[in-house]
């Protein structure tokens, strides 16, 4: 009976995603794989005849997030909590499955080309999938995120970060310096960005064997 309920619940979940949320075709395979993985876990550990045991709720602890996940939450008011596709993408990213995460983020961008959150998430997931390399597709997605969210500092911030992590230190610094110059001093990110830019300057100076300015 437990197996019947588990399989039925998985089928219902897939149907809801397909009908209610209009899950794009390119995401069907990844979604089905996730549901099958859940069933496999049930097969290994599930025991429907075992009685439940009460347990005190654990203390809430903030789980560490990948950089793309953090980027998506900072992307703006229409973040992943407002879009099931971006929620699913973030779940895949937290497990290091950046290719699947990028598929869902791309579907969100295809659904709404003006969704800067989707473009930013897609850019970060593409960088994650490329193991930190800034690909042309990721660079284009950062540009789209900037164009669709002109008042949002996140696209420029994460573009600068991606450039610096890819070894393009001067280019990354230029992006951050431009963002800082455009940011009002009372902006909540101004102090943090100033500190990070100073750290990057010190690192660049150390690479050149010079004393930081």
Query: The tokens of 101 are what?
Result: 């995460």
The DSSP symbol for 149 reads: -
137 and 185 housed in the same domain: yes
71 in the same domain as 33: no
The secondary structure of 160-178 as a DSSP string is HHHHHHTT-HHHHHHHHHH
> How many angstroms separate the CA atoms of 74 and 166, rounded?
22
> Minimal CA–CA distance to 162: which of 114, 115, 122, 190?
122
82-100 pLDDT, tens per residue? 688 999 999 999 999 999 9
Per-residue model confidence (pLDDT) at position 83:
84
- As given in the structure block, the two tokens for residue 29 are 């395979």
Domain membership of residue 172 (yes or no) is: yes
User: How would you class 135 by CB atoms within 10 Å of its CB: exposed for 0-12, middle for 13-18, buried for 19 or more?
Assistant: middle
- Lowest mean per-residue pLDDT among 1-5, 10-14, 64-68, 168-172: 64-68
Residues 8 and 87 in one domain: no
pLDDT category of residue 209 using cuts at 50, 70 and 90: confident
The domain total for the chain is 2
Range of the domain at 33: 1-39
What is the DSSP track for 176-211?
Answer: HHHHHHHS-TTSTTHHHHHHHHHHHHHHHHHHHT--
Say yes or no: 150 and 202 in one domain.
Answer: yes
Residue 61 included in any domain:
no
Q: What is the pTM of this model?
A: 0.64
Is the model's pLDDT at 27 over the cut of 50? yes
């Amino acid at each position: 009976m437990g197996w019947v309920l588990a399989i039925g619940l998985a089928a219902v979940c897939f149907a809801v995603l397909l009908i209610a949320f209009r899950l794009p075709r390119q995401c069907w395979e990844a979604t089905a794989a996730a549901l099958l993985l859940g069933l496999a876990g049930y097969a290994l550990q599930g025991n429907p005849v075992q009685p439940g045991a009460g347990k005190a709720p654990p203390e809430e602890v903030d789980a560490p997030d990948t950089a793309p996940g953090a980027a998506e939450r900072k992307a703006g008011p229409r973040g992943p909590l407002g879009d099931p596709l971006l929620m699913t993408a973030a779940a895949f990213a937290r497990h290091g499955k950046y290719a699947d995460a990028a598929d869902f983020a791309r579907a969100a961008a295809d659904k709404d080309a003006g969704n800067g959150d989707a473009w930013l998430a897609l850019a970060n997931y593409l960088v994650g999938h490329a193991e930190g390399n800034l690909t042309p597709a990721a660079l284009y997605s950062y540009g789209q995120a900037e164009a669709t969210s002109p008042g949002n500092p996140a696209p420029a911030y994460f573009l600068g970060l991606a450039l610096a992590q890819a070894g393009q230190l001067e280019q990354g610094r230029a992006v951050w310096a431009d963002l800082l110059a455009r940011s009002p001093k009372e902006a909540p990110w101004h102090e943090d960005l100033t500190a990070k830019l100073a750290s990057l300057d010190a690192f660049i100076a150390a690479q050149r064997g010079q004393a930081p300015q």
